[in-house]
A and B are shown apart, each in its own frame.
Chain A
């Protein structure tokens, strides 16, 4: 199957700082990537759809100015959590779409905001 990587796997930051998470498709080109958030023992919540070379599409209730998404190339999408607060602490997972309808997920990034 296709391989998607995420970096970093874990990050701890102070309240008010910004954190950037990278998502890379390693062995295929991904014109569309997705960003999800997952709370403990809960399913995945789609935050936004990231399209290469264009603005991301955010789901209802997701603050676009807080969660900045950039998809500058066919293999890289980034999520920046700006002015992070403790309530932003969560598990963030990206995925890359395949043209048969599947998505391949990265290993996730655990963000802890102190």
Chain B
């Protein structure tokens, strides 16, 4: 069993739809949670960061962390064609200067159709 599971998709939605992306994990020590967006042939771009449990909102994006269920989500409201990309969840138990490493999900390929 992988430490972090993420449905690779592909996921195709019409423009304006609400998109829900999810990851589950097995390591209860994880406490730093991130979502990255990666366009084709580019490096990942940090979208959302959450420490421990809770919700965080930034514009059209909302990140949720449920540590009791070991489940994290990213919601995209009013999706746009420019949101078409691969979305990677990532998490770690410690920050980097304590030896922490990011563990990534497989990435979900999202396509938003005009």
9 contacts between A and B (CB under 8 A): A34-B96, A43-B106, A98-B96, A100-B32, A101-B51, A102-B49, A108-B41, A108-B43, A110-B41
A97-B96, A108-B42 known; A44 and B49 CB under 8 Å? no
> Which residues of A are at the interface with B, using a C-beta cutoff of 8 A?
1, 4, 6, 31-32, 34, 41-44, 46, 49, 91, 93, 95, 97-108, 110
Does B56 make an interface contact (CB < 8 A)? Answer: no
Residues of B within 8 A of A34 (CB): 96, 101-102
Mark out the residues of chain B between 3 and 54 whose CB falls within 8 Å of any chain A CB in the assembled complex: 31-32, 34, 36, 41-46, 49, 51
Residues of B in contact (CB 8 Å), total 27
Complex A-B, nearest 8 residue pairs according to Cβ-Cβ distance, in ascending order: A97-B96, A101-B32, A105-B43, A101-B95, A108-B43, A107-B43, A105-B44, A43-B104
Residues of B within 8 A of A107 (CB): 42-43
Least CB distance, B36 to chain A, in whole angstroms: 7
Nearest chain A residue, comparing its CB with the CB of B31: A101
Q: Is the CB of B43 within 8 A of A106?
A: yes
Q: Is the CB of A102 within 8 A of B88?
A: no
Residues of A within 8 A of B94 (CB): 101
A43-B104, A43-B107 known; A105 and B36 CB under 8 Å? yes
Does B100 make an interface contact (CB < 8 A)? Answer: yes
Distance of A104 Cα from B46 Cα, bound (Å): 7
Distance of A34 Cα from B31 Cα, bound (Å): 20
